[in-house]
Structure 1
Amino acid sequence: MATTYRLPHEGENRPKGAILMAWPGPENRNYKRGEKQRLEKELANLAKAISDHEHVILMVHSTDMSRAERMFKFCGFKTCGKHGVEVLPIEMPDLEFWMRDVAPTFVLDENENVHGIDFNFNGWGGRYPSNNNRRFARHILKEKSLLGDRSIPCVKSCVGGCNEIRDEICDLVLEGGALETDGEGTLIVTESSIINPNRNRGVTREKIEEEFRRLLGVTRIIWVPGVPAEVEDYDEVTDCHIDGWVRFVAPIRDPKDPNKDVNQVVLNYPGEDRPPMTDIYKTTKEKLSQATDAKGRAFKIIDLPEAGIGLKTPDPDRCLSYVNYLLVNGAIIIPRFGFRQADKRAKEIFQGLFPDRKVVQVFLEEIAWSGGGIHCVTQEIPWTK
């Protein structure tokens, strides 16, 4: 009998086994010395904020270990936050720090055991090819050479019973940031980041959906168009990952009908007259407005204005979406971009949406200029008994 898997929602009421993070390797693309060190500091600050709520495993190249140890000298396993930041050396000089995309995607089976899926990372459609990063997920799941004498999912302090999917081969090419689920059978994805010849040439939508149902346990797959990165004025390497646009919050009672529930989602609002960003927003909202989730519930869509609306010359490389957040045990970690009113408004919106969680803002600059956010640089391993 085939094993049944489920991709849990990030906000489920369970602690994580760990949150995976990384520093960019010394041979990582396009980072000058000062930029790399500022990026490392931002990632360290984020790791410290997360460690108040979940255990963090931060992977750094061996040549950067001394700097990491100095940065975390008062942040050992038991002293940095409540849950600790564990710094591990890794022998990958061109390591990417986008753990959402490079690391495995972790799912649960029917017995609540954790499994990891390797989605065959290919450098975002071949834009940044690297054999090391292509093999990273498989190394983490099956090999110990990159991390000394152990592989991450089997760290006993992290996860009790984590195994790779041994007999399940996935031929799809995609990144973790392309997937957004409510954990109850619904998956939202963009066509442009998955049904794309730079990742899945010749693979039909039907075959892709079959794999999603098999590996993620979903029964309702909602495709929104997204946009290819080659479209004029939208130079974005992920081909429009969903995690910068739409995120599930939680089902609530329908304010218009007390006998029904609706499924809440937040939708990034980029402002008017910003093609193709505004087009992405409008087509996504229209699609979700007409859709229902796996349980037949309509969506309640909450617009979340991004920072920088109204800038005369917005930079397409800079990610100013508040939607790219991370849910951790008892808290939500959201970005602060230095736009006072927008940052305040975002915090207030999240406090209303997540009244039982502490809203923690972490300043992002280098991460944002690199094109991503908090969700992009983290990957959670679910906890299992």
Structure 2
Amino acid sequence: MKKIIFLFFSSIILFSCKEKPDTSAFFFPAEWEPQEAVWMGWDGNLKKEDTLHIITASIIKELQENIDVVLWVTSDSLKQAAHDFLSELEVPLDRVEIAQIPADKVFWSRDSAPAFVINRQGERKAIDFNHTGYFRYIKRQTDIDADSASLAKTIKETRLMMQIDSLVAVEKNEVIDKSWMFIEGGAFDVNGKGSLLVSETFLFRNLSDEMRDTLTKQHFEEEFQRTLGVTNVIWLSDGLAEDGGGEFFKNYISGGTNGHTDEFARFVNENTILLAWVDESEKDLNPIKKATFERMERNYEILKNARDQDGEPFKIIKLPMPGHVIEDRILDAERLKKEGVRKYYQSNGFVEGDTLKFVAATSYMNFLFTNDKIIIPSYTAQGSSPEKEKQVEQIFKELHPDKKLVFIDATYVNANGGGIHCMTRQVPKRLFTLD
């Protein structure tokens, strides 16, 4: 009996002596954790029937049922246009705020709005990252031998784009923490417990030559820990070939971001990772399918050997890739009227009269978690297999039976290099820990 009493009190003492977590420490919560709002951006034109607007309205209609939405615009005229358009489509606006900031382009909220971190004392900060487009877009202009005026315009636009994080944060009275890192919100994913997924290829490819020669993985890991509270970085290989950001695969060319993680690898709970997958029977359909097949095989090997923040292995689920959406583009005189553009295509082996096959950045991975739903891209209307989409639906149902699954055709956005996840940015709820 004495021994039992001794063990009982010993366990109480040991439990009470355990180090309590630091409630002031900031961390980046997983996307499936409670959200206060979702931020989106309105594309900068006044066309009433613009397809981007229709897709934006469809997403807002779903979101506003259970969460507040902030729709960012860049002028008074766009603010009115957005209000009128949403009203005409009968989107309820009770939980939709249309907010204005003095910026240029705000459509890709995942990449231009800040990443929000919280702690357990009810505090929240907006992490202001730099945009990799600053180097990537300038390199593209250089590749096509753009004139000095075009290059200056690109530099100005990308500098303005890098200010959006802080502009929207200031408008909402959020505390700002500026980071030196060049990365977008779609380029990393977290499990909310300390682990982060990121493409090594993407991070180091989208830097200046000087930064690429100076920075190491350790520099990034330290900054991820400082800004996002991450202790375990999993370095993945290349992203989807479909998301290659202008890569050529014979006469196929891809758009996209050049390797954002939210196109090919996502956490769906703290120990499960979805990985985009091309079935072996499809890998030889075209050069892009084959490249993605090979890239995802490499990433699968990395993830099989990876461990979480506690040293435990992950469960990896292969999520099917949809069928391709391909547009033939003839290199006619109009497309090649600029000498720099002509030289660019010639340097890649193409001349006037050739046909390039432009492949949209389609992927089921570009989904969005909200408080009660998962909004997932749909491709059956574009000819992709309904059986494959049913398989995707079943995977999500088993992983999150408590959430409603909503499929939206956002292929037009994919053709412009992004998707549903790219268009949105969740704002996590503040947390309070009682003493």
TM-score, normalization: structure 1? 0.81
Tell me whether 1:60 sits opposite 2:73 in the alignment: yes
CA drift at 1:186: 0.5
In the alignment, what sits opposite 1:376?
422
CA drift at 1:362: 1.5
In 1, Cα distance between the equivalents of 2:50 and 2:102? 19
SS at match of 2:193: coil
The question of whether the paired residues in 1 share the 8 Å contact of 2:42 and 2:73 is answered with yes
The question of whether the paired residues in 1 share the 8 Å contact of 2:368 and 2:374 is answered with yes
What is the aligned length? 341
Tell me whether 1:205 sits opposite 2:213 in the alignment: no
In 2, Cα distance between the equivalents of 1:39 and 1:311? 19
CA drift at 1:360: 1.1
Tell me whether 1:351 sits opposite 2:351 in the alignment: no
Moved more, 205-214 or 69-78: 69-78
2:375 to 306, 311, 333: 333
Per-residue displacement from partner, 1:293-346 (whole Å, max 9, x unpaired)?
A: 112221111111121169899965412211111111121111112233333332
In the alignment, what sits opposite 1:41?
54
In the alignment, what sits opposite 2:194?
185
In the alignment, what sits opposite 2:116?
106
In the alignment, what sits opposite 2:315?
300
2:168 to 140, 153, 165: 140
In the alignment, what sits opposite 1:365?
411
Moved more, 208-217 or 234-243: 234-243
Could you tell me which runs of 5 or more consecutive residues in structure 1 were left unpaired when the two chains were aligned.
Answer: 28-32, 79-83, 143-150, 155-161, 252-262
User: Residue 22 of structure 1 aligns to which amino acid in structure 2?
Assistant: G
2:300 to 285, 289, 307: 285
SS at match of 2:97: strand
In 2, Cα distance between the equivalents of 1:278 and 1:91? 43
Tell me whether 1:119 sits opposite 2:165 in the alignment: no
User: Residue 19 of structure 1 aligns to which amino acid in structure 2?
Assistant: V
SS at match of 1:226: coil
Moved more, 176-185 or 269-278: 269-278
The question of whether the paired residues in 1 share the 8 Å contact of 2:263 and 2:366 is answered with yes
User: Residue 336 of structure 1 aligns to which amino acid in structure 2?
Assistant: S
Structure with greater Cα Rg: 2
In the alignment, what sits opposite 1:176?
185
SS at match of 1:207: helix
In the alignment, what sits opposite 2:41?
22
SS at match of 1:198: coil
The question of whether the paired residues in 1 share the 8 Å contact of 2:273 and 2:317 is answered with yes
Could you tell me which runs of 5 or more consecutive residues in structure 2 were left unpaired when the two chains were aligned.
Answer: 1-21, 138-153, 329-355
User: Residue 175 of structure 2 aligns to which amino acid in structure 1?
Assistant: N
The question of whether the paired residues in 2 share the 8 Å contact of 1:4 and 1:217 is answered with yes
Tell me whether 1:87 sits opposite 2:94 in the alignment: no
1:245 to 253, 258, 264: 264
The question of whether the paired residues in 2 share the 8 Å contact of 1:109 and 1:115 is answered with no
In 1, Cα distance between the equivalents of 2:422 and 2:100? 21
CA drift at 1:110: 4.3
Residues 123/3 of structure 1: CA separation in 2 closer, same or farther (3 Å cut): farther
CA drift at 1:230: 6.5
In the alignment, what sits opposite 1:30?
none
2:273 to 258, 261, 265: 265
